[in-house]
Structure 1
Amino acid sequence: MYANVFSFLLTLVMHIQVGCPLRCSFCATGKGGFARNLQPHEIVEQVLAIEETFKYRVTNVVFIGMGEPMMNLKSVLEAHQCFNKELKIGQRMMTISTVSVPNTIKMLASHKLQSTLAVRVSFEYTLLAGINDEKEHAEELAELLRMCGGGYHVNLIPYNPIEGSEYKRPYRKVVQAFVDALEARKITVSVRRTRGLDANVACGQLRNAFQKNPLLEIEPSPSIERTLVTA
């Protein structure tokens, strides 16, 4: 039996793939290689396992963990439907976060989900010390958003360090200066609160600590359209 089911929100960050094929240079997950897509039931089982372990109901789901949702969209959509119809998680309590794989945003939009699409309503911007955290970078970002039509929210993510990376985390005063520069240009902005940094499980740090070699590289299907569920 669940205790205090409705007294608080329990958010679960979902894994979408084993590894990640995008290999972002600042992310530990990509450095570990890519093996395969998760099947829908493997995504759903993550929620069931957490609920069974902690005896609390998962209220929020974020497709942002290991892997890129748009490159396993068929499984994401099937899991999304199961969460909503079977586990009674509201569509607006689910977020799909993506680095914007070309030609996929419109495909996802065609399914008319009520879920939050992180890249559509907000932009997540990773701050790398000395690389993209200066005032002029904030001004360039503000101008880019203005050209896109304005009205967007920016979620700043100070870089979470990983072993073997040359990137550094910016100082708090630098982050605040970036915030001030955006707000001066009427951009709504927030700074991601870092959780799990001491355990190497913060954003961009997910990787098997015992993995000695990269995963066997398996290229994802070149036709992302084939992964979509017909509306």
Structure 2
Amino acid sequence: MANTINDPPQETSSPPLLSSAAAPLRAQSSSFSLQIPSVKLTKHNYLTWSQFVRAILKSNRALKFVHTTDIPMKFLSDLDYDMHHVNHGFLAWEEQDQAMFSWLLNSISESLHPRVVGCVHSCHLWSELHAFCNSHTKARSHPLRTQLRSLSQGSMNISEFLSKVKTLSDSLISIGTLTTLEEHINCIFYGLNEDFQNVITSIESRIHPPSIHDLEQFLLILNQA
């Protein structure tokens, strides 16, 4: 027999509580499966952090929440504005956006929280983080590239020197500043001691440059001979 208006509401089972680190973050009208990054965003790891976050957003079909062009209109007409009749499409979007906003905020280190004070939507948060971290990346890029181009072997053995070149090159890659194969090889050639000059001349005379791996392997074998 159907419930009357005076009947008590039937109880419904509630989902079990999960730890915040593993539980999906759910909005009432939709659900996301959002894993908090094990390494949170700092001003030094934006490239790897954003790569992880983009993958999570794509898997949830949620990239639209970091794009300002995808925000629905809050009021569909002047009359709606005067009567404060908010578009239901905007309300549904806002509910999900705030779930996404909370997730993004939990994905950044506390040191960056002051940078995003005043942000109210996910797209504002994303834009502010990108602008700040991108400027910091550019500031780090110049001294790293200068250090790479001016590096010389000096008293280092060949293995130590090649390792130092690779570390600087990898540091540039980690902040989104790529080095070309030619640039990497030239940094090695220019930094090697004069003992390797004949070898450098021989390699430079080839039509096709060697890969970094082949060049390093050749120099290490040559040094052991």
TM over 0.5: no
Which structure would you say has the larger RCO, counting Cα contacts within 8 Å and 6 or more residues apart?
1
Q: TM-score band (shorter)?
A: under 0.3
Larger Rg: 2
| TM-score, length of structure 2 as denominator length | 0.22
| TM-score, length of structure 1 as denominator length | 0.22
Q: Which has the higher helix share?
A: 2
Q: Which has the higher strand share?
A: 1
